[in-house]
Amino acid sequence: MRRVVKVLALLLVTLVVVPAGSAVAAEDNRPLVRVGTEGTYPPFSFHESGSNKLTGYDVEVIKAVAKKAGWRLKFVETTFDAIFAALDADRIDVIANQVTDNPEREARYGLSDTYTYSRGVIVVKTGTKGITKLSDLKGKTTAQSLTTNYAELARKAGAKVEGVEGFAQAAALVVQGRVDALINDNLAALDYLNTTGSDDIEIVGTAGDEVSQQKLVFRKDERQLLKQADDAIAALKADGTLARISEKYFKIDVSVQNSGQADLSGGRATRSDADIIKDAAWPMFRALLIATIPITIISFALGLVLAVAAALANISGNRILSAIARVYISVIRGTPLLVQLFIVFYGLPELGLDLPPWPSAVLALSLNVGGYAAEIVRSAILSVPKGQFEAAATIGMGYWQALRRIVFPQAARTAVPPLSNTLISLLKDTSLLSVVLVTELFREAQIAASAAQTFFPLYLTAALYYWVVCALLAAGQRRIETRLDRFVAR
């Protein structure tokens, strides 16, 4: 009873505090602008090691633009390969992530005035021979973010492109010999070399003579925001603000063309793996508690309801219900979860159903669980001898009463092991949710890894968190099986 009272009190406090906070926020009449950025792309958009604060050149530029334009900002982090889909689906209002101008983007989006000039460079493993220019990449393999200009540049040069999320991952593949090279911004490459102190990779040439121009990206219909951004950028160039931000990160002014080569000496200091893990452990654990586990529990509960409904419909005598259930199960089992997440989050808004990140994640995961668990539930129900239904009928039980009191308890013993496997798989599948803007456990690991340019210890820590939770779930499964076995005649 005390627990119930505490829960009710907590809910009451939440109901009182949240509206109060909302009222305070409502007093700010400035328009809210949602900014899409990676958060894993140093030195442009990343989280500071230790404080975990989102910072970087692009982050400071958009904050300065917002101050001039009179905007309130909300940062939304996602992978670069999903960032344009988020803009198209009205999940964000502007992209601030070193987006390079090209004719296709110019035709499809509203691009601001240029705020960064840079050059593409070719990076290889130190000592690699035979790659110094774009034409040398023909028949080779490069690592790129798939929707960047550099990926298209590599394809045109005849290279095979492997998709990655950021420079650090691409560099790791080059060092490991899994790809031959990467093409990226010279500023990002120099920052990586300076930050890591690595001599495993080297810049061997430029990706053509063309100077890249980076711009803020809006939807075509956001003309007012685009005009405000252009005015703000012009003002920031005139008063020297852009120059100061540039010099803070690059020691030169990259907001003007032909500014020379950036000097990134004295950049972010490297730290030991122990310090990196210590700083990242709490944000990862917090994401596990407030995102990964709650989403798993809610999605599994809803998915189990869908599974029971689909299983009963499938074995019913109604042809229409049976057909609907079979199509649902076939579609879910025949399509990848990642595709389902993209359809729910980025596709449904085009049909008028615009769900926030959390509900979108729960919906996609619940539908996925329902499709897979439906066959488990169906086989468990069919494993109960038909004579049990007949015996229930002879003592006056109806169909639903027989299911609830006779069939389901017996079917549960058969269904628990495979359903437990489904639950464990669901927990691990939450690692995909960063594509729908949910910051869960693995996303925190990616953020920390990109900031520290260190992968193995952080991903190993994330794996440890997943393993511990899965081990606890497996232990719970064994306890449930033991309890159910007590009622089985020997």
In the predicted structure, residue 242 carries a pLDDT above the cut 90: yes
Tens-place pLDDT, residues 431-449: 999 888 898 999 899 888 8
CB-based contact 36:86 (threshold 8 Å): yes
Point out the least confidently predicted range of 370-379, 451-460, 462-471.
451-460
CA 335 to chain centre: 19
Tens-place pLDDT, residues 128-182: 999 999 999 999 999 998 878 888 899 999 999 998 877 888 998 999 999 999 9
Mean pLDDT of the region 378-394: 79
pLDDT value at residue 393: 72
Rounded to two decimals, what is the model's pTM?
A: 0.72
Paired with 105 in beta bridges are: none
Q: What percent of the chain has pLDDT over 90?
A: 55
HEC assignment per residue over 203-232 = EEEECCCCCEEEEEEEECCCHHHHHHHHHH
Higher pLDDT, residue 388 or 186: 186
Calculate the average pLDDT of the chain: 86
Band (pLDDT 50/70/90 cuts) for residue 265 is low
74, two tokens: 């909300």
The structure tokens 């685009």 sit at: 226
CB contact burial 317-330 (16+ within 10 A = b; e otherwise): eeeebbeebeebbe
Higher pLDDT, residue 272 or 306: 306
Point out the least confidently predicted range of 260-264, 387-391, 477-481.
260-264
Band (pLDDT 50/70/90 cuts) for residue 363 is very high
- How many angstroms separate the CA atoms of 352 and 446, rounded? 32
271, two tokens: 């730290």
In the predicted structure, residue 487 carries a pLDDT above the cut 70: no
Tens-place pLDDT, residues 64-75: 999 999 999 999
For 411, half-sphere exposure in the C-beta direction (CA atoms, 13 angstrom radius) is 26
Q: Which of 276, 150, 159, 158 lies closest to 167, judged by CA?
A: 150
Q: What element of type H or E holds 378?
A: helix 357-382
pLDDT value at residue 37: 96
Mean pLDDT of the region 309-332: 92
pLDDT value at residue 31: 93
Mean pLDDT of the region 377-389: 82
pLDDT value at residue 489: 46
pLDDT value at residue 63: 97
Q: Which of 435, 459, 465 lies closest to 172, judged by CA?
A: 459
The structure tokens 């509206």 sit at: 19
Q: Which residues contact 133 (CB under 8 A, 6 or more apart)?
A: 122, 205, 206
Q: Which residues contact 211 (CB under 8 A, 6 or more apart)?
A: 117, 118, 119, 257, 258
- How many angstroms separate the CA atoms of 110 and 364, rounded? 31
